[in-house]
């Protein structure tokens, strides 16, 4: 097993990739949950993704303020959909 994956299950690796793709999940959250620094996440993404997908992800992530907690304009909270107050019990209310 590779040192990068030491102690991680396939499910953990999949979750890290999912979190890395999410625009509003900072690398700090991945580090807090899985103990992987940004550079390790980048290595994991490079190894697990097709080259074209990896290039697309790197282009998307580089310089994105929401992926770096220190660069964010907000301190906590999640993105809130404009229709969120209308959603009840995971179903969109009838209009």
Backbone dihedral angles phi then psi of residue 53, each to the nearest 5 degrees:
-65, -40
How many Å apart are CA 45 and CA 81, to the nearest integer?
Answer: 28
How many Å apart are CA 82 and CA 89, to the nearest integer?
Answer: 17
Q: What is the pLDDT of residues 59-83, one digit of tens each?
A: 888 877 666 655 555 555 555 545 4
- pTM attached to this predicted model: 0.65
**Is residue 73 a contact partner of residue 65, using CB atoms and an 8 Å limit?**
yes
Domain ranges of the chain: 3-71+78-92
Averaged pLDDT score across all residues of the chain:
76
- Which tokens in the block code for residue 53? 């997908």
């Amino acid at each position: 097993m590779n040192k990068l994956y030491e102690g991680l299950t396939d499910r953990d690796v999949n979750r890290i990739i999912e979190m890395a793709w999410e625009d509003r999940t900072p690398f700090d959250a991945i580090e807090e949950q899985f103990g992987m620094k940004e550079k390790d996440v980048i290595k994991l993404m490079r190894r697990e993704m097709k080259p074209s997908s990896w290039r697309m992800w790197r282009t998307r992530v580089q310089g994105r303020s929401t992926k770096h907690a220190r660069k964010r304009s907000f301190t906590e909270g999640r993105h809130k959909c404009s229709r969120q107050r209308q959603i009840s019990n995971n179903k969109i209310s009838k209009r």
